[in-house]
Structure 1
Amino acid sequence: MKKPTLTAIGGLDVRPRADAEEFYQALEIDVLARTLWGEARSEGHIGMEAVASVVLNRVKVAQGHGGKYWWGSNIIQVCQKPYQFSCWNRSDPNFQKLQAVDNKNLYFATALRIARRAVIGALPDHTGGATHYHTDYASPYWARGQEPSAVIGRHIFYKLIKT
């Protein structure tokens, strides 16, 4: 008979640190995949990789500023910072879809594969180090007078902050 494993005492998690790290990594993958799906599912594989690169480049910027930056310091904070990736805005039509999608959806399954590669550092950056992007039908104030670092599908990318 297998002995039960103790994982909590008085509400405190007592599992080994590796379990907590695996859980956090799985959460990062999930949040990043949902961001890719919400922002770029119509942009194909390369388009989703490009959005993942923006997230990773923002994390690098934060690391270069002592681990802190206004948009957050890790993948989850960067993705979910209000008004940075519109799919996470509660008023965005994608928000409810974002909560419900699962890996039975072909585009979300692709986003999960890309997110896994991104989290382990195995993703190429097609954006030239971009920290910002917008669709080709938008004209945000911050893009005025800026030189794009890449154009991928309907997204225009900019490296506005040095990593």
Structure 2
Amino acid sequence: MKKFKSLKTLLSALTLCAILSTPAFAGDYTVVSGDSLYKIGKVFNTSANDILATNNLKGASIYPGQVLKVPCDTYTIKSGDSLYLIAKKYGITLYDLRKANNKWDNNIYPGQVLNLPKINSNTGSTEPTTKPIVNYTEADLDLLARLVTAEAQNQPYSAQVGVAAVVLNRIKSSQFPNTISSVIYEKSYGYYQFTPVANGWINKPSNATAKKAAKEALYGSDPSKGALFYFDDSTTNKWLWSKPITARIGNMVFVK
């Protein structure tokens, strides 16, 4: 009887070890065009081989619309939530949250379930990324929000985030200055880069929505998809229209 109990205990321990050593795949990820197992693995802090094995895939080929099990916790949206607040609460970038859910607009609803990338309470794996993509002061945030207000206050919210993102994209580019204020106040061939600086609208107070949009861009959101310029679709500037379009939101056109 003692031997039986010992064997039973051993088997239970082995079973528990097997459970604990197996990655927990709790999220559903829908494949989009351009995805690969490697890219998806980077989003969820796992390997392509783990996704391959867990989903019983015969090869690395995947297709848009395919649903894969991925390792992450999930979050059920509650009334009053926003993508920005959820990302901030869990210490992940807004960009990572959007990427993990292929969610590039801000429309969410109570009861909707989101993947939380790089967070897995079952395996203890976390990768907090709460730092902004560009260091900034309150004065920088206010200046960026004033630019957003002047340029896009009558445009959709995602367009406002896009305007702020263009400034940050310029900072990351070797073609432009490397601070928020120097990008916004830059002159090229004797002309200011941004119309509100030239006409003085940059000095008008920002609104709350613009400040929120500016902060969202600072923490990784980029509806402009890497754009370095933006303009109203009524412009006749051939040079701007000749550039590759990355996004169109409302009346705003974003280009590289």
TM norm structure 2 = 0.42
Distance of 1:98 and 1:78 partners within structure 2: 13
Query: Could you say which residue in structure 1 is the equivalent of 2:214?
Result: 115
Supply the AA of the counterpart residue of 2:194. F
Report how many aligned residue pairs link the two structures. Answer: 117
Is 1:143 aligned to 2:255, yes or no?
A: no
| Unaligned ranges ≥5, structure 1 | 1-23, 63-68, 103-107
| Aligned mate of 2:203, from 99, 113, 120 | 99
Is 1:30 aligned to 2:135, yes or no?
A: no
Identify the structure with the greater strand proportion: 2
Within 5 Å, which residues of 2 pair with 1:4-153? 25-62=137-174, 69=175, 71-82=176-187, 83-89=192-198, 92=199, 95=200, 97-101=201-205, 108-119=207-218, 122-153=219-250
Supply the AA of the counterpart residue of 1:29. L
Superposed CA RMSD: 1.8
Identify the structure with the greater helix proportion: 1
Residue-by-residue CA offset, 1:90-138 (whole Å, 9 max, x unaligned): xx2xx2x542425xxxxx111112223333xx23211121001111111
The secondary structure found in structure 2 opposite 1:124 is coil
Tell whether the 8 Å contact from 1:150 to 1:157 is kept in structure 2 after alignment.
yes
Which structure would you say has the larger RCO, counting Cα contacts within 8 Å and 6 or more residues apart?
Answer: 1
| Cα displacement (A) at 1:37 | 0.4
User: Where in structure 1 do 4 or more consecutive aligned residues deviate above 4 Å?
Assistant: none
Supply the AA of the counterpart residue of 2:255. Y
| Unaligned ranges ≥5, structure 2 | 1-135
| Cα displacement (A) at 1:144 | 4.1
Q: Which has the larger radius of gyration?
A: 2
Calculate percent identity across the aligned residue pairs.
31
Distance of 1:74 and 1:60 partners within structure 2: 9
| Cα displacement (A) at 1:139 | 2.1
Residue-by-residue CA offset, 1:59-105 (whole Å, 9 max, x unaligned): 1103xxxxxx4x4221111112242111111xx2xx2x542425xxx
Query: Could you say which residue in structure 2 is the equivalent of 1:16?
Result: none
Distance of 2:238 and 2:248 partners within structure 1: 18
Distance of 1:142 and 1:74 partners within structure 2: 26
Change (3 A) 1:144 1:115: closer
Tell whether the 8 Å contact from 1:134 to 1:140 is kept in structure 2 after alignment.
no
Tell whether the 8 Å contact from 2:162 to 2:217 is kept in structure 1 after alignment.
no
Supply the AA of the counterpart residue of 2:213. I
